[in-house]
Structures are given as C-alpha cells and as structure tokens.
Amino acid sequence: MVPLPVLPPVNSAHRRTLAPIATPDRLLLGPGPSNAHPTVLQALARMPIGHLDPLYVELMSEVQELLRYAWQTDNRLTIPMSGTGSAAMEASLANTIEPGDTVLVAVKGYFGLRLADMAGRYRANVVTIEKPWGEAFSLAELENAVATHRPKILAIVHAETSTGICQPMEGIGDLCRQHDCLLLLDTVTSLGAVPLYLDEWKVDLAYSCSQKGLSCPPGLGPFTMGPRAEAKMMARAGKVPNWYLDVTLLNQYWGSDRVYHHTAPVNMNFGMREALRLLAEEGLEAAWARHRSNSELLWAGLEALGLELHAPAALRLPTLTTVRIPAGVDGKAFSQHLLTKHGIEVGGGLGALAGKVWRIGLMGYNSQPENVDLLLNLFETELPAFRPAVAPAAVAA
C-alpha cells in the first residue's frame, strides 16, 4: 500500500469565523439593479435541477417564447445569455464582426462609448458619430453617416442609461436595409418597460439585462438575432472569436438539439421565467403605461420642487430620470444620506455628467406611485439641508 503523503498542519490564521450573510433592505431607485419581484425571488430559491433535465428543457423554451413577446419579435435565435447585460452586448458584436468590418456607433452617452470600445476589441474599423449627452440623433444625421461610411453594422442605444434619453426609432431600420447594414440596438433600460417593436422597426440584433424592467436580479443577458444577422454570422470566414458567447455553439443548446455547451445558471432562468410570466400576465401595453404614468408623476413632482430635469420632455425615458444637481449642492453626499438614513439608492452621473446629475430609476417592480411619493417627500424635506447657506444680507435683499 502506498503511504499517504504527510500534509502540513492547517494554518488557523487562514480561517475566519463569519456570521451568516445578512443584507439590509434597500429600495433601489438608481440606474439598476432594481428590486426583484417577490415571486421571482421565490423562484430563485427553489432547488436546482440539471441543465439538461427534461423539465428544465421545457422551461428554456418558455423563456425563449416569453422573451420574443417582450421584444415583439419572431427571431428564432432569442436566448438569455449566461451573464449580465454586458455579456449580451459583447455577444451581439462578437458573433457578427469580422476583422476590418466598419462598425458605425452612434454615441450619445456612456453606453455608446462602451459599444465602440467592445467593437474595437474585435478588430472592427470603428467609426463614431456623437451628440451632446442629453440629445438624440435625427434620422437625417444617421442617414448621412451611414451613406458616408457604409458600415456593416450601425449600433445605437435605445434607452441611454447615462442621460435618460430615449432614441426615436422611426425609419432607422429602413435606412439600414437600404444601405445593406445591420441595425444593432441596446435595449438594456427599455425591455419590459418602454415600447419596443423589434420586428416592426427592422432591428437585426438586440440585447438587454435581467435586473431592470424585468424585475429579476442581475445575472442573465437577453439576446436576440434576426435572420439578416444570422446570415452574416454563418458566412464568417473563421470562428467566432469568443467561445463562451459563440451563438453557433449556443444554438445547439438552446435550439432543437439541446446539446451541452456549458452549465447554465438554472435558478437564474427560474427567476427569468417568472419575471417574464409576470410581465405577460400584466400585459406589455399595461406595463408600458404604468412606467409612463409613474415617471410623469415623478417629473411633475421634481419640477414643482424647483429642480431641473436634464432630458427634454419629448425624449425622456420612463425608466430613468436625470435630475440636475442644484448649484452648490454636494450631490454625492445627498445620495449617501438617502442610502444610509433611509435605505434608498439613487445614482450619480457617469462620464460627461459625473457630478452634474442624479439618476433616478423607476423600473419593473419598483415603478409604483408610492415609491415616487416617498422619494419626492425626501427631496422636499431633506434636500434643503444640503443646499449652501445663504448670507443674511442676501436674504434681506
């Protein structure tokens, strides 16, 4: 018998005694994540089953069907990527870009910049056009850029989370068809909460996330690919340069064959299935109307308090409101006060808007009038303490 090796004694310095995890209750009214629906949390807590179990295979099909409904598309390749929304974003580029392809990115905020960065990593010839962070592109601007640069892909953010701007989509799909380029749309902050008609708009690629309008925790990235994008992917000269996100492989798992690709996060898909079921139960139009109504309540209340909204009314996102921080106010200190004293999270600005705006999210389960009333009350009663003191002479004047 071979003797067992003599192991060194366990070093107790490497051991820590910790209490079971405990997290405070938070009301997440920032740019995401939002609070998950209680029914979704219950689904997440169920006992896992195998990722090729017949019951799970049936659930996979239900998730795909419900995602098609939420996006209003018939795309065959509609799946939840095992990863956050950024993974789905990367999948949309990794599968369709070949080295040297011209990719036109319409940048009007932080996440347009991320699209350009990702596309460059797949050796695309990246061309950007830009708008100030608080505006949207006109169809004429996009048409001029597409005609000039002749891209293989036009990438644009529908709901720009950094600015609170919703990009009008009329005519963009037709423009891309006329110039034989794919239309890629970021719907991270719009899916389930803002009107989306992928097939009607002629969108070829789209992606989103689980933790915003769908009322599910972060961890899955919905992804959809239309026939034109699928044809470009299948005509590639070489392999997709990202094994984990390769849709030609994932299609074997999510398609009719159900061939093993990776160990799927089954409980996350339990939650996604319930989140999408709840959305279908409410109805898309009702969910869109609820988000719109609550955002209008928020906008009116903030303006009644003398606060200025960053996005023009015609372009405002019902899911994400950007509020300009008043002069002299430490916006970060007020956000921290809301979190530590009241357990409410609101976001700060990114990029060009860092330190200039608060970002308030009303997404999915959190888009409720009582949440609007609560936040407006705190802005009214507690923001004055964070404004700069006014000298007595100025008050007299």
User: What residues form the annotated binding site?
Assistant: 359
Q: Which of 110, 145, 141, 140 is nearest to 128 (CA)?
A: 145
Burial code (b: 16+ CB inside 10 Å, e: under 16) for 324-344 equals bbeeebebeebbebbbeeeeb
One DSSP character per residue, 263-322 reads: ---HHHHHHHHHHHHHHHHH-HHHHHHHHHHHHHHHHHHHHHTT--BSS-GGGB-SSEEE
Phi, psi of 192 (to 5 degrees): 85, -5
Q: State the Cα–Cα distance between residues 24 and 75, nearest whole angstrom.
A: 40
Q: State the Cα–Cα distance between residues 75 and 205, nearest whole angstrom.
A: 10
Known binding site for substrate: residues? 359
| Residue 159: strand pairing partners | 166
**Residue for token digits 């996330």?**
209
Contacts of 266 (CB under 8 A, 6+ apart): 48, 49, 50, 51, 56
Q: State the Cα–Cα distance between residues 163 and 152, nearest whole angstrom.
A: 27
Q: Which of 333, 360, 338, 340 is nearest to 24 (CA)?
A: 340
Strand ranges, E, within the chain: 27-28, 77-82, 102-107, 125-130, 153-157, 159-160, 165-166, 182-186, 205-207, 220-225, 320-324, 344-345, 347-348, 357-361
Describe the crossing of helices 227-234 and 247-254 by its angle, rounded to 10 degrees. Answer: 120
Q: State the Cα–Cα distance between residues 341 and 197, nearest whole angstrom.
A: 41
Residue type, 212: K
Q: Is 396 exposed, middle or buried (0-12, 13-18, 19+ CB in 10 A)?
A: exposed
Asked if residue 33 has a cis previous peptide bond (ω within 30° of 0), the answer is yes
Q: Is 285 exposed, middle or buried (0-12, 13-18, 19+ CB in 10 A)?
A: exposed
